[in-house]
Amino acid sequence: MRTTILLLATLPLVVPVALATDAAADSIYSRAVADPARPAKDRERDARDKPAEVLALAGFGPGMKVADIFAGGGYYSELLGDVVGPGGSVLMLNNTAYQHFAREELKERLKDGRLANVKPMLIESCDLRLGNDDLDGALIVMSYHDLYYADEAGGWAPINAGRFLDQIHAALKPGGVFLIVDHAAARGTGHSAAQELHRIDEAFAKLDIESHGFRLEKTWDGLRNEADRHDVGVFDPKVRGSTDRFVHVNRRI
C-alpha cells in the first residue's frame, strides 16, 4: 500500500500535460476544429498538424487577445478566432512576402467578413505594431526559423531576430504564452539549417527564446517523426507534410 501511495504521489509530476491536453482537446479546441464552416483544405491539414492538441497545450481560451505571427493563409488564425470567441480577438500578422505567397488563400478565408474577430495586419519585422503588455498570447507556427533566413533577391530581407523576439516579449502581458512549432534540424546546427533546409535546431530555439525574457514551460512530442533524418529540406517530397516538429510553450517572465 505504501508503494502504491508513493507511486500515485509522483503521477502529477509526469502526466499533467498529457491529461490536460487530452481533456481540453475534447472541448473548445475540438469544437473549433469540427466547425463545418472551415475550408476543406484546412480539414486535410488537421490530421498531420493536430491543432486541437497544440492549442490545448498552449492554453489559449475565450476572451484572450492572441497574435498569430507569420500566419500565412490563416489556418491557425481561424481556429483561434473560434477558440477565443466573440469576447476575444486574433491579430493575423503577415509581412509582404507571406502576404503575397498566401494572397489567394487569405482572400477566400476573409471574404464577406466571415471571421469577425480576426484582424489581418500587414507588417514588417522591424515594427510588428503589437504595442506593449497587450497580448495574452502569441504563436509562430513553422516560421520561427524564418527569422534566420535571408533571400533579398527573392523578397525576404534579413531579419534582426533579437529585435523581433523583443517586440513579442514587450507585447505580451507578464505571464503571457508564446507558442512555437517548427521543423527540427540536426542537433548542434544552431540556426544554420534555416537557410537551405528551412529547419532549426530545437536546443538553439530554446536558448534563443529564453534569452529574450521567456521561460520554456512545456513541450509536446505529438508532432515528432523519428523517420525524418533532418538532412533534407522541408519541401522535399520525402518529408513534406511529415517533418519532425517540436512544440514549445514559452511564458513571458
pLDDT along the chain (253 residues), means of 10: 36 40 69 96 96 97 98 98 98 97 96 96 97 98 98 94 98 98 98 98 98 98 97 97 98 97
User: In 3D, which of 122, 137, 121, 205 has the Cα closest to residue 169?
Assistant: 137
Its pTM stands at 0.89
Q: State the fold for domain 2-252.
A: Rossmann fold (3.40.50)
Per the DSSP assignment, residues forming a β-bridge with 121 are 93
| CB atoms near residue 161 (< 10 Å) | 17
At 253, the amino acid letter reads I
At 121, the amino acid letter reads M
What pLDDT score was predicted for residue 224?
A: 98
What pLDDT score was predicted for residue 73?
A: 98
Whats the size of the chain, residue-wise? 253
Domain boundaries, the chain: 2-252
Under 8 Å between Cβ of 247 and 180: yes
Question: Among all chains, which residue has been given the C-alpha cell 524564418?
Answer: 146
Q: Which three cell numbers stand for residue 80?
A: 483561434
Q: Which three cell numbers stand for residue 78?
A: 481561424
